[in-house]
Amino acid sequence: MNKSALEPESAPPRSQIYNEMHDVDGSVRPHYERYAAWLTDKPLEYMLQKQREADTLYTRLGITFAVYGDGGGVERSIPFDIIPRILRPDAWKTICDGTRQRVRALNAFLRDVYHAQEIIKAGRVPAEPILNNNLYRREMCGFDVPGDVYIHIAGIDIVQTDRDRFYVLEDNLRTPSGVSYMLENRRMMMRLVPELFARMAVAPVDHYPDVLLDNLRAVAPPGIMNPAVTVLTPGPYNSAYFEHAFLAQQMGVELVEGQDLFVANDVVYMRTTRGPQRVDVIYRRIDDDFLDPVAFRPDSVLGVPGLFSAYRTGSVTLANAIGTGVADDKSIYTYVPEMIRFYLGENPILSNVPTYRLGIPDDLQYTLEHLHELVVKEVQGSGGYGMLVGPAATLQEIAAYRERIVANPASFIAQPTLALSTCPTFCGSGIAPRHVDLRPYVLSGRSVTLVPGGLTRVALREGSLVVNSSQGGGTKDTWVLEE
Amino acid sequence: MLSRVANNLYWMSRHIERAENTARLLDVTYRMSLLPYRILEPGQSWAEPWALPLVINGLATAYYERYPGPLSAENVLRYMVLDATNTSSIYSCIQSARENARTARGAITSEMYEDINAFWLELRDRDFDGLQARGVSGFFDWVKTRSHQFRGVTFGTSLRDEGYSFIRLGTFIERADNTARLLDVKYHTLLPSVTDVGGAVDYYQWSALLRSVSAFDAYRKVYRDVLTPMRVAELLVLRDDVPRSLHACMNEIYDILRDICEPSSREAERLAGEIHAHLHYGRTEQIISLGLHEYLMSFIEKLDALNGEINRHFLVPEYVTAPEPGRAGMTQASR
């Protein structure tokens, strides 16, 4: 949840901003009409009461994320907004087709860079940012993952700037989180306003855990009839622990920590009350570096010694595969449209945000001249750390950042500040537009699919474009209307 | 099921049971202290009913370190109710239970988690002064009710699987241990010899003991006669129709272990069977000839050994090698 989606701090002029509910003349867009009709006779007190009910329920249900520091024990709820974000069927189709296309291409790219490296040989993507990338796992070269699936779960962050214009902000291909909020937000809305679901054809998302389990079972090592699937978590103090436990419970599989697993003769077992039991598929929510202290970081206490060796023999499947990080690196992001053309022979359905690669002299020069209006990020940064938001930065911050860029231009990219769309959001004293993004979850295994929905994050502060939960961001239920 | 998860479930229910037992004991102690008479002879150990909650939990030393000076009801309450530094306080028990539940969240129903989480959140917001202002008895009733409620939610929503077995195991092991300790300490201080006959005031002491384990009405129904120490012992040790008696607890424990034990963990089942048989075929006269204190000490020791076996086989097993061929066969059969 800490991955920052949207960086630009200061908003573009209001007139350019696309309001998803209201047209510029103030009329309600067709796909919001039924909601607007319902909303129109609801007094403020009613909305306040629903909001309080939601807040109480989230605390009582223990839907929280842990905040690091303070002894590791602090848990908070992510603010939930009671006004749903509604998507037209055709908009969803674009998002759905576009993200599936993207994940198929990214998966082909991963298979390629760990095998023949055709895309590099063809000169379509330079070798350097891939092979010298520290997220590139040489250990994976020549290894065939089951079903050729690397990215079993992807979270693709998308923003909308106009009625039909969608941009991909980033591809999260390692251990994307937040899907539990998609599911819990829906349950909450059905509890709070069941009558709305009777009036509107909202596509269901509840089957996500079933689809996930089905896909995970499909990628089990060959020859196993009834594969044992587990979810591997760093433990209760991880910020996404609630989600790990939630998904394990919803799938009906064991939630394991590193200490629950051991490897013997390159087979992974879990310690159970009935002795060791074999594990076939691990949906791991631990980063590559911490998975196995023998193969990767020796100081990791979260991992399982010998896991990588077992993985290499094919006795256990990891989801996502090891080494997917090289494809969600921000310097690689710029090549995704090229991957789509190269591997699929198709034109990209979703656009990338125009991105300046500062290793290129022209791009660097332009960026240095326009720092006050651009967003600059480290190519391997994530979670919104180590970036410059030009429009919101002070002159000193810009000057300091300029020095960092000049020292090592190739490790930075720059993007223009986007005019994110807004959705009506309940603010306590009334309803006001707030900027949103969307993270749908793409599942691969048996096939490449999405459930119709995703996590909508909303910047609760007026004018803010930062939807990050650690910076005052909240979430909304996302309603995809059925045709 | 995962050993770590089983361990958390086991301790989740032990912690809740412990909190409930502490609430029960503090409640009767408090009610006793409100009685309008003061005919207890000062200096006698049983004149200090407030020492009991400390003695039973082995906390007397720790208490005096925290609250030097003469024992006071208020300090004992402070220490046993909301003191986060005391790992046996009601506060700490519920905190631990909730943490156990959180860690084993995938293995319990969402209703259960919601219930224990709400219990903890409400408890966390209490403060001692407010508690005193509203009356401590109301608070103890609340703790008991929440504990009952959690057991009810567990009973009403849980799949009858291994996890459920470990939850129940934790409840009954903790309960048996508590009843044995309570009886021992109370008996010991009231009647150094089991055949001694107490005075008139003792009536309140015995009835308080019975009330603390919800057995006062049961006594009336079973004996329809005056309270005698012998019958109290019989009721809480040998009768299996009193839900907090040692016999009733061992019935459950033995049943559960017969259900979950496999050839390699038969020692746990055997041990439980042995303890159970002692109660099942035991007679009051035997207990008297051995001495109640000795009898209870022996029970507590065996229960502790049983707890050790349960740990060794189920909850914190130590092995790092591949399963033995027989075991692997068992695993593969389900694949």
Of residues A62, A267, A271, nearest to B317 (C-beta)? A271
pLDDT at residue number B192 = 52
Residue A45 has pLDDT above 70, yes or no: yes
Q: What is the mean pLDDT of residues A17-24?
A: 92
A254 and B CB contact within 8 Å? yes
Which positions in chain A touch B100 (Cβ < 8 Å)?
none
Per-residue DSSP letter, A324:
T
Contact call for B99 and A236, based on CB within 8 A: yes
How close B206 comes to chain A (CA, Å)? 41
Contacts of B117 in chain A (CB under 8 A): 60-62
pLDDT in tens, B225-246: 888 888 888 999 999 999 999 9
Give A90→chain B minimum CA distance, Å: 36
Nearest CA in chain A to B334: A226
A183-235: pLDDT as tens digits: 999 999 999 999 999 999 999 999 999 999 999 999 999 989 899 999 999 99
Q: Is a pLDDT exceeding 50 seen at residue A7?
A: no
Q: What's the pLDDT band for A4 if we cut at 50, 70, 90?
A: very low
Q: Give the residue on A whose Cα is nearest the Cα of B162.
A: A273
Nearest CA in chain A to B262: A274
Give CA–CA dist B198/B195, Å, rounded: 9
The confidence score (pLDDT) of residue B57 equals 83
Spell out the residues 6+ positions from residue B69 whose beta carbon is closer than 8 angstroms to its own.
none
In chain B, the residue whose alpha carbon lies closest to the alpha carbon of A227 is B335
| Residues B135, B137, B139, B142, CA torsion sign | negative
Contacts of A254 in chain B (CB under 8 A): 1-2, 5, 106
Paired residues of A67 in beta bridges: A74
Q: Tokens 């907090």 appear where?
A: B244
CATH architecture, range A222-315: 3-Layer(aba) Sandwich (3.40)
For chain A, which residues make up each domain, given as ranges? 222-315
The backbone torsions φ and ψ at residue A441, rounded to the nearest 5 degrees and listed phi first, read -110, 125
CA distance A53 to B1: 36
DSSP string covering A273-296, please?
BTEEEE--EEEE-S-HHHH-TTTS
Q: What pLDDT is recorded for position A330?
A: 84
Per-residue model confidence (pLDDT) at position B321: 54
Contact A61 B114 (CB under 8 A): yes
* Burial letters B284-306, b for 16+ CB under 10 A, else e: eeebbeeebbebbeebeeebeeb
Contact between chains at B110 and A248 (C-beta distance less than 8 A): no
Q: How far is A147 from chain B (nearest CA, A)?
A: 21
Cβ of B331 and A59 within 8 Å? no
Q: What residues in B contact A206, CB-CB < 8 Å?
A: none
| Interface ipTM | 0.75
Say whether pLDDT at A321 is over 90: yes
> Which residues of chain A lie closer than 8 angstroms to B321, CB-CB?
264
Q: Give the closest residue to A267 by CA, choosing from B159, B327, B79, B104.
A: B327
Cβ A477 vs Cβ A186: under 8 Å: yes
In this structure, how many other beta carbons lie within 10 angstroms of the beta carbon of residue A25?
Answer: 5
Burial A349-369 (b: 16+ CB within 10 A, else e): bbebbebbbbbeeebbeebbe
Asked whether residue A262 carries a pLDDT value surpassing 70, the answer given is yes
pLDDT tens for A140-196 read 999 999 999 999 999 999 999 999 999 999 999 999 999 999 999 999 999 999 999
Mutate which of A180, A274, A294 to test chain B, going by most B C-beta atoms within 10 A?
Answer: A274
Q: In this model, does residue B105 exceed pLDDT 90?
A: no
| Range A233-247 burial, b when 16+ CB lie within 10 A, else e | bbebebbbbbbbbbb
Tell me the C-alpha distance between A35 and B49, whole Å: 64
The residues with which B69 forms a beta bridge, in sequence order, are none
Residues 6+ apart with CB under 8 A from B176: B246, B249, B250, B253, B303
| Domain ranges (residues) in chain B | 1-158, 160-316
Query: Looking at CA atoms only, how far is residue B270 from chain A in angstroms?
Result: 18
Which residues of chain A does B335 touch, with a Cβ-Cβ cutoff of 8 Å?
224-226, 228, 278
Q: What is the predicted pLDDT for the residue at B251?
A: 97
Least confident residue range of A287-301, B179-193, B200-214, B289-303: B179-193
Cα atoms in the Cβ-side hemisphere of radius 13 Å centred on A176: 25
**Mean local confidence (pLDDT), A74-98:** 91
CA-CA distance, B323 to B303, in Å (whole number)?
Answer: 30
Residue A226 is predicted with a pLDDT of 93
Report pLDDT for A71. 40
CA distance A359 to A407: 11
Can you say how many angstroms the Cα of residue B72 is from the centroid of all Cα atoms in its chain?
Answer: 24
pLDDT at residue B333 is higher than 50: no
When pLDDT is averaged across residues B52-74 and rounded to a whole number, the result is: 87
Phi, psi of A157 (to 5 degrees): -85, 125
For residue B270, list its beta bridge partners.
none
> Is pLDDT at A455 greater than 50 in this prediction?
yes
Residue B45 has a pLDDT of 44
Put simply, the answer to whether A267 touches B166 (Cβ < 8 Å) is no
CB contact under 8 A, B4 and A259: yes
Using the predicted structure, report yes or no on whether residue A336 has a pLDDT greater than 90: yes
Chain B neighbors of A245, CB-CB under 8 A: 102, 105-106
Q: Which of A273, A282, A283, A302 to mutate to test the interface with B (most CBs of B within 10 A)?
A: A273
pLDDT at B309 over 50: yes
Contact between chains at A256 and B264 (C-beta distance less than 8 A): no
pLDDT at A5: 32
> Cβ contact (<8 Å) for B6 and A274?
no
Could B102 and A62 be called an inter-chain contact, meaning their C-beta atoms sit closer than 8 Å? yes
Q: Which residue does chain A place closest to B265, by CA atoms?
A: A274
Dump pLDDT digits (tens) for B157-177.
999 999 999 999 999 999 999
Contact A271 B331 (CB under 8 A): no
**Which of A434, A438, A231, A210 lies closest to A318 in space, CA to CA?**
A231
Number of Cβ pairs closer than 8 Å across A and B?
94
Q: Look at residue B3 and tell me whether its pLDDT is greater than 80.
A: yes
Enumerate the residues of chain A whose CB falls inside 8 A of the CB of residue B327.
Answer: 275-276
- pLDDT grade, residue B37 (50/70/90)? very low
Cα distance between residue B252 and residue A417, in whole Å = 66
d(CA B100, CA B12): 5
Mean pLDDT along residues B59-87? 90
- Predicted confidence (pLDDT) at residue A394 exceeds the cutoff of 80: yes
Tell me if B117 and A61 make a contact (CB, 8 A cut-off). Answer: yes
Looking at residue B36, its pLDDT comes to 54
pLDDT above 90: percentage of residues in chain A: 72
Instruction: With cut-offs at 50, 70 and 90, classify the pLDDT of residue B100.
Output: very high
3-state secondary structure of A442: strand
